[in-house]
Amino acid sequence: MLTLLAVFAVASLLLPLLVSWIGARAFAVAALVPAAAFVHLIALTPQVLAGSDDSALIPRESIDWIPQLGLSLSFRLDELSWLLALIVTGVGALVLLYCRWYFRGSKEGIGQFAAVLLAFAGAMYGLVTTDDLVLLVMFWELTSILSYLLIGHYHRRGASRRAALQALLVTTLGGLAMFIGVVFLAVEAGTSSMSRILEIAPTGPVVDAAIVLLLVGALSKSAIFPFHFWLPGAMAAPTPVSAYLHAAAMVKAGIYLIARFAPVFALSGPWRPITITLGVFTMLLGGVQALRETDLKRILAFGTVSQLGFFTVVLGYGTPDAMLAGLALVISHALFKSALFLIVGVIDRQLSTRDANEISGVGRQAPLLAISGFLAVGSMMGIPPTIGFAAKESTLAAFFDEAQRGSPWGIVALVGVILGSILTAAYGARFLWGAFWRKKDATGAYMPDTEWPSPPFGFLVSPVLLAFGTLVLGPLASAVTVVLYGYADDAKAPGYDGSPLDPGYLALWHGLAPALFLSLGAVLLGLALFPLTRRLGWDRRLRLLPFTAQDAYHFVMRSVDRLSLVTTSLTQRGSLPVYVGTIFVVVIAAETTALIAGGPANAQLSAWHTPVQLVVAPIMIFAGLLAIRAQKRYTGVVLVSVTGLGMVVLFGTSGAPDLALTQILVETVTLVTFALVLRRLPARMGEHNASVGRVPRAILGIAAGVMMALVAIVATGSRVAEPISEAFPKLAYELGHGKNVVNVALVDLRGWDTMGELSVLVLAATGVASLVFVTHRADRLSATKALPEGPRRARRGPLVETTEGVRVQTAGDTAPRAWLVGGGNVKPENRSILLEVIVRILFHTIIVVSIYLLFAGHNAPGGGFAGGLVAGMALVMRYIAGGRWELGAAAPTDAGRLLGAGLILAVGAAVVPLFFGLAPLTSAVWEAEIPVIGHIEFVSSTFFDIGVYLVVIGLVLDVLRSLGAEVDRQTLEMRARGVDI
């Protein structure tokens, strides 16, 4: 299972590249991944079924994740997980295959769409197979994020963006509540393993609260009232998303959670009141609204809401016969509803409309599609011989028996299911009428048949297979009982006193039982209800209720916006000194309180440790005082850098060459960054807004400095135990196989910290770029192909500067040789031949040095961070000497690719040990004796360091291209428009 999850992840990362090569045909290749998972699940069927009798035989995998918290990467395939995984992978493979024709001819964004859809399939596979509650929450939120990207695929459309955000907010809010419930339940049970929790079956008020919070997450994910409104809005997504996420996969996550915990908690206080009442109400609400829609997808969307309410009632009831019927309903729904959505996709793709009032006579022109639609709707209604009939009749039989036993909740469930079944038949008939029937116009005459261009046969394969699957499984209902019997028979909540489950419970024929008449009666009443609603103009009424859950959502969002506006207007006054001063005041107040409450400190002070400090410290202090008095911005920046360079000397003389090397590189890059920013600011401080309140600022600054000094003194004297860092030299050599303690700590001993820091660097680069690249994030400034022909020897003549900054010579003699390819585009007054020569000579040497630092850092000063900064400095030199065109020649790639590649490489180096049964970030060493070269060693953590190297280079490149090259371009455009800057 872990291997399959890794395959899903890797395939998702490679899929955009494959799409760029072969286009939409890559979807067919991607379908092989869930198809392989489906075959693997089929192969495990005997072992899964055997596990119902002996739990030791259940397929499972587990790797310790955070042993201190008792968390592990554990996966388990019982019958419920196996069934949901089959649905996720089987339907997922067919939907991906369907996308091959749905997106034919489309190019924009399908690479990302394919990757996200396949990643979603992997996340759902992990969600239904994991046995750890914490890991389930992680997969849960991952599906919410991926569904947000899928729903918002058409990101240029406002409706898609709003629908994606709405789905994300609602499901994430429910997921947050569920996470709190998971914490409560795990603490109360003493474990996060779901199988162990269900064995322990904890009780008490804390458990009841946890169950309510779990149900909030499940109901929000499965679009149960009052969270139901996000699902119809999500129909703004491409149809394959609707067929997979909103019929077969994502909305089933909440149903899966209910089915998982119902066998133990169904008889607990809050369970049935929540699941039965909200489930029945959602079933009726969705069915009523489906009868009022004219968009075929929205008919199916509200029908899905109704069906999800149906599942919540049946599976939430928690008795063995209800659980078996509910799982059969889940199977039938995955088949018929995904088939119906895919059929709508074919209609929409061929006719460019989904409006039932505009489509007429399609059924006669597309008989195979129409037959598939009738089969799918027949299963949805519960018409024999489909699997939907067997499942619905079994459901009615289960609740009829409960009602006969006098169960109040059984009576409520029975009445609700009957009414919901009537509505299901009615909106099923409405869908068939809208999609395939001949329509009449206002005069009563038949409309001409809508012209139907025949789709490719491959486009019909997936919906036809899914629709006919409902027919094939109908006669095999008894086999479905055999497969699911073990799980359902064990679904007896503590205190259950009902009869044992009948081994032949699911079947097409139980005789002339009451459930049969209830089922067929509901279908007939539903078929009669549809024409009645048409005559009454039910579908032409604008609103049935004055206030809906959708209105409540918009009211809350508007209220949040208004509150944020009021809060911002009160607190954000546009004064940076006020903001910074507020931060300092809070810090001083908090730290002063902590120092006073902490009692006397055990401070140990020394005047100095080395004589160098007596020389360097006064220089740093003097530079700081001069920086306060500086009148020019650049002067202040340089003086502040002096204090940083003083730290370089202190580090270097204190036995920390790595820190000294990193500090000097950081100071240099920071100085360059400041210089780039200061180009757009006035040269002198206070030129437009003079500094005011000098005395309060001075007091605040002195107080902050004194406070930080006191904190440093107290903190260093407060240690009561031996620091763990004293063991780092030994650990670095034995665990990390390196002699450079600093570098080994970064990439091995404290690798998770470095992983977080890499994420921060990526976010920082993205944030800086997004502030500068206002209208277009793509790097189109430094493409080397835009350079003039023959940059080494250009023609001499009058120079003409374009808005893109290219300086073109018109005619004349040949110009002097250009040492850099971008040198000819730099204004003569800004050009330095000496600098070009130096950069030309040193650039490749500096790159080699950076690579040396990268690979030498494990045993000597250096590492990925220092090496990346050195390579970044080489790019800085090229930019300063030759401008932005020279930067493009030096690094003809997008910074985002370097950032992403570096982060992926670092994450991969952390995850790969898991596949060998080791803890994340565990490093391995390879040693060999090579002739001439001698003894060599290679440590696997070097791959992690290479990731750090690429991220740092990407960060520097992004800063140079945003604050440097893009600002240059914007400046030229403004000058071209006559703006004085």
Question: Is residue 379 pLDDT above 90, yes or no?
Answer: yes
Q: How much of the chain exceeds pLDDT 70, in percent?
A: 92
For range 899-912, the mean pLDDT? 88
Q: How much of the chain exceeds pLDDT 90, in percent?
A: 38
Under 8 Å between Cβ of 971 and 884: no
For range 903-927, the mean pLDDT? 83
For range 234-247, the mean pLDDT? 88
Beta partners for residue 799, in sequence order: 809
Question: Is residue 105 pLDDT above 90, yes or no?
Answer: no
Of 337, 150, 168, give the one whose Cα is nearest residue 252: 337
pLDDT, residue 790, reads: 42
pLDDT, residue 731, reads: 82
For range 321-329, the mean pLDDT? 91
Question: Residue 130: which pLDDT band, with cuts at 50, 70 and 90?
Answer: very high
For range 653-674, the mean pLDDT? 87
pLDDT, residue 888, reads: 81
Q: Cα 862 vs. chain centroid, distance in angstroms?
A: 34
pLDDT, residue 794, reads: 42
Question: Is residue 780 pLDDT above 80, yes or no?
Answer: no
391-408: pLDDT as tens digits: 999 999 999 988 988 889
For range 903-912, the mean pLDDT? 87
For range 271-291, the mean pLDDT? 93
Of 96, 51, 416, 381, give the one whose Cα is nearest residue 249: 96
Under 8 Å between Cβ of 132 and 193: yes
Question: Is residue 636 pLDDT above 70, yes or no?
Answer: yes
Question: Residue 7: which pLDDT band, with cuts at 50, 70 and 90?
Answer: very high
pLDDT, residue 796, reads: 42
Question: Residue 809: which pLDDT band, with cuts at 50, 70 and 90?
Answer: very low
Question: Residue 442: which pLDDT band, with cuts at 50, 70 and 90?
Answer: confident
pLDDT, residue 123, reads: 94
Higher pLDDT, 608 or 98: 98
pLDDT, residue 748, reads: 81
596-623: pLDDT as tens digits: 887 777 777 788 888 888 899 999 999 9
pLDDT, residue 800, reads: 46
| 116-130, 216-230, 491-505, 707-721, range with the lowest pLDDT | 491-505
Question: Is residue 495 pLDDT above 80, yes or no?
Answer: no
Dihedral over alpha carbons 128, 129, 134, 135 (to 10 degrees) = -100
Under 8 Å between Cβ of 244 and 95: yes
Question: Residue 786: which pLDDT band, with cuts at 50, 70 and 90?
Answer: very low
Q: What is the mean pLDDT of the chain?
A: 85
Q: First-to-last CA distance in the chain?
A: 61
Q: Counting Cβ atoms within 10 Å, is residue 502 exposed (0-12), middle (13-18) or buried (19+)?
A: middle
Residue 76's region, left for phi above 0, alpha for psi from -120 to 50, else beta, is beta
Q: Which residue has the tokens 């850092």?
A: 857
Of 323, 343, 346, give the one whose Cα is nearest residue 335: 343
Of 303, 219, 207, give the one whose Cα is nearest residue 255: 219
> Residue 480 contacts by C-beta under 8 Å, 6 or more apart in sequence?
328, 331, 387, 390, 473, 506
pLDDT, residue 596, reads: 85
| 226-230, 468-472, 561-565, 578-582, range with the lowest pLDDT | 578-582
For range 675-693, the mean pLDDT? 70
Whole-number Å distance between alpha carbons of 287 and 303: 6
Q: Which residue has the tokens 């291997």?
A: 3
Phi then psi for residue 896, to 5 deg, are: -60, -35
pLDDT, residue 686, reads: 64
For range 728-745, the mean pLDDT? 83
Top-ranked range on mean pLDDT: pick from 243-252, 417-426, 469-478, 792-801: 417-426
Question: Is residue 154 pLDDT above 70, yes or no?
Answer: yes
Higher pLDDT, 886 or 234: 234
CA atoms within 13 A on the CB side of 245: 32
pLDDT, residue 807, reads: 45
